[in-house]
Amino acid sequence: MESKLTFPKKPYRTHGGVHVPHRKNTAQKQSVEMPVPSTVTITMSQHIGAPCKPVVKVGDQVAVGQVIGDNEAYVCAPIHSSVSGTVKKIDKVVAPDGSKIDAITIESDGEMRLYEGIRPPVINNLSDLLKATRESGLVGLGGAGFPAHVKLNIPQDKDVDTLIINVAECEPYITADHREVLENSWAIMSGVYALKEILGLKRVIIGVENNKPDAIKVLKAIADNEVDKYDEVRILPLKASYPFGAEKVLIKACTNRVVPMGKLPSDAGCIVMNVASIAFLAEYMKTGIPLIKKRITVDGDAIKNPQNVIVPVGTSVKDIIEFCGGYKEEPKKLIMGGPMMGASVSDDSLFIAKQNNAILAFTEKEARLQEPSACIRCGKCVDACPMCLVPTAICKAVDSRDTKAMLDSDIMNCMECGCCAFACPAKRHLVNNIRLGKQLINNEKKRQISLKEGK
């Protein structure tokens, strides 16, 4: 890699993207801490990787920050109790994606008694950091939920020189990261510099969309802080366009590097961390309290009082919406996450997980499904795709169940950002179709494997 790292004055060119309406209605509202709910239900799979196994039994007394779920697997983050109280039951609940997962229901005693084992971690070197990060239960808070200790554990052969802080927050409505910056700037600053030092990085780029001028001001002050003697931390305002928050797009915009297909950011010499993850890490280093709270944007035209709320992990969506004044009108669609990539769920009896950052409730007007019509080959999906794919061609292959053609058109490179379907004038369900195609390919792979084993 080149000896001198440069800081871009303006973002490098990226392909595609769409202009989605911002609707950041809650950006100027102070976040509110929600009172502790009477019960929380904490699911055992709040990250990408192996699900945790419950390590407590029904009837156990637990305290805030106590580990209640863990797994020996490497790609896994432990899960902690977010309240103090009694374990009421351990059984299956429905996850936002419709699957059933183990969950622990804890009845709160209202005391929020802290677990006695909690103390600030001692971090002197990278292995301390990795151990502490795992113990903190941190997962990628941008939405994907990739265990942070895995991300920070850079393989020896990878030459990582750049830390990118993701403050793009390109999804409409969501302002949780924006509020994090405004309300928790101390933690962000301390986290950025701590991480920079421990990882020994010479370049930190804070990528932030230019639709949040107040956040840019705060971040600029952080970047210009005198701690940063050699000016190795800088911000990069990005054009407010979707999907700049996508890891690979952000890396290209900040460094002009391309993450090879199927590879990780470290293959392009970068680590990308969400700003909320950074802030949490700094707080954890100070207090030792693991990840048990989340800032959630509650918005949508069916919500009476849209705002950011800080809730214990495991709080039910219903309780949160009631805390926000309930529904203004009859909700017709509930989304966990943003409107571009979030999952729509069938009712509000689900529970907040670590990686959730928004709950949106829409009325009939916003939620109505549009009937797709024939593809007119306008090519707007091709122009919109940040991964330089040809969505219509992929969908044609999916329609004819041709797995080879699907793979030839690089279906696996699709990150399901939704740009193509957003841009499509014929309202075709492009992303849905591509998901189906990926599933077909996985099924085919499984079939091939079982055929081989059968022999």
Partner 1 sequence: MENKMYVSSSPHFRSNNSTRKIMLDVIIALIPASVVSVVFFGYRALMLIGVCIASCVLCEYISRKVMKRDTTIGDFSAVVTGLLLALNLPVAVNPLIAVFGSIVAIVVVKQMFGGIGMNFVNPALAARIVLLVSFPNAMMTWTDAFSKDVDAVASATPLVAESGAYSYVDLLLGAHGGSLGETCAIALILGGIYLNIRKVISPIIPCVYIASAGIMALIVGQDALYQILSGGLLLGAIFMATDYTTCPITKWGKVIYAVGCGVLTILLRTYSNMPEGVSFSIILMNILVPLIENITTPKAFGKVKAKGDKK
For partner 1, the binding residues in 2-41 under the rule CB under 8 A are 2, 6, 15, 18, 20-21
Q: In terms of CB distance, is 82 or 357 closer to partner 1?
A: 357
Using DSSP, state whether 329 is helix, strand or coil: coil
Cα–Cα distance measured from residue 313 to residue 81, given in angstroms and rounded to the nearest whole number: 8
Q: DSSP assignment, residue 139?
A: B
Residue 272 CB contacts under 8 Å (≥ 6 apart), including other chains: 164, 165, 166, 247, 250, 251, 265
Stretch that binds partner 1, among 185-193, 218-226, 252-260, 288-296 (CB under 8 A): 252-260
Q: Which among 38-46, 67-75, 261-269, 309-317 is the span making contact with partner 1, rule CB under 8 A?
A: 261-269
Q: Which of 131, 368, 401, 445: binder of partner 1 (CB under 8 A)?
A: 368
User: Nearer to partner 1 by C-beta: 63 or 238?
Assistant: 238
Q: Which of 330, 450, 454, 455 binds partner 1 (CB under 8 A)?
A: 330
Rounded-to-integer distance, Cα 333 and Cα 335, Å = 7
Query: Which residue of 73, 258, 443, 445 would you call a contact of partner 1, by CB under 8 A?
Result: 258
Report the C-alpha gap between 217 and 278 in whole angstroms.
Answer: 18
Question: CA-CA distance, 86 to 63, in Å (whole number)?
Answer: 9
Among 348, 438, 440, 444, binds partner 1 (CB under 8 A): 348
Confirm or reject binding of residue 201 to partner 1 (CB under 8 A).
no
Q: Does 265 bind partner 1 (CB under 8 A)?
A: no
* CB of 324 or CB of 345, closer to partner 1: 345
Is position 365 an interface residue for partner 1 (rule: CB under 8 A)? no
Alpha carbon distances (Å) from 114 to 66, 119, 121, 265: 8, 10, 16, 37
Q: Smallest distance, Å, CB 343 to partner 1?
A: 7
Q: Does 388 bind partner 1 (CB under 8 A)?
A: yes
Residue 73 binds to partner 1 (criterion: CB under 8 A): no
User: How far are the Cα atoms of 11, 284, 354 from residue 122, in angstroms, in the given order?
Assistant: 37, 11, 24
The closest alpha carbon to 432, from 370, 356, 350, belongs to 370
Q: Does 344 bind partner 1 (CB under 8 A)?
A: yes
Nearest residue (CB) to partner 1, 293 versus 380: 380
Q: Identify the residue among 75, 221, 261, 449 touching partner 1 (CB under 8 A).
A: 261
**CB of 354 within 8 A of CB of 42?**
no
Asked whether position 389 contacts partner 1 by CB under 8 A, the answer is yes
Phi, psi of 179 (to 5 degrees): -65, -35
- In the complex, the smallest distance separating the C-beta of residue 362 from partner 1, rounded to whole angstroms, is 7
Note whether 248 binds partner 1 by CB under 8 A: yes
Q: Is position 207 an interface residue for partner 1 (rule: CB under 8 A)?
A: no
- Give backbone dihedrals phi and psi of 217, rounded to 5 degrees, phi first: -60, -45
Asked if 421 touches partner 1 (CB under 8 A), the answer is yes
- Among residues 60 and 402, whose Cβ is nearest to partner 1? 402
CA nearest 422: which of 14, 97, 13, 19?
19
The reply on whether position 256 binds partner 1 by CB under 8 A is yes
CB 411 within 8 A of CB 399: no
Q: How many residues bind partner 1 (CB under 8 A)?
A: 78
Q: How many other C-beta atoms can be found within 10 angstroms of the C-beta atom of residue 422?
A: 18
* Residue 318 · residue 42 · CB < 8 Å: no
HEC assignment per residue over 297-326: EEECCCECCCEEEEEECCCEHHHHHHHCCC
Shortest Cβ distance from residue 185 to partner 1 (Å)?
A: 30
State CA 391 to chain mean position distance. 24
Tokens in use for 398? 């999916």
Which of 150/358 has CB closer to partner 1? 358
Segment 141 to 180, residues that bind partner 1, using CB under 8 A: 172
CB of 387 to partner 1, least distance (A): 4
Pick the binder of partner 1 from 113, 304, 429, 438 (CB under 8 A): 429
| Region binding partner 1 by CB under 8 A among candidate stretches 38-46, 139-147, 216-224, 406-414 | 406-414
Interaction of residue 75 with partner 1, rule CB under 8 A: no
Rounded Cα distance, 385 and 388, in Å: 5
Residue choice 263, 365, 401, 447 for contact with partner 1 (CB under 8 A): 263
CB closer to partner 1 out of 76 and 341: 341
Are 358 and 173 spatial neighbours (Cβ–Cβ below 8 Å)?
yes
- Check residue 399 for interaction with partner 1 (CB under 8 A): no
Q: Which of residues 221-240 bind partner 1 (CB under 8 A)?
A: none
Of the listed pieces 39-47, 128-136, 139-147, 375-383, which binds partner 1 according to CB under 8 A?
Answer: 375-383
Strands 270-274 and 233-238 come out as unpaired
Part in contact with partner 1 (CB under 8 A); list of ranges 110-118, 290-298, 303-311, 383-391: 383-391
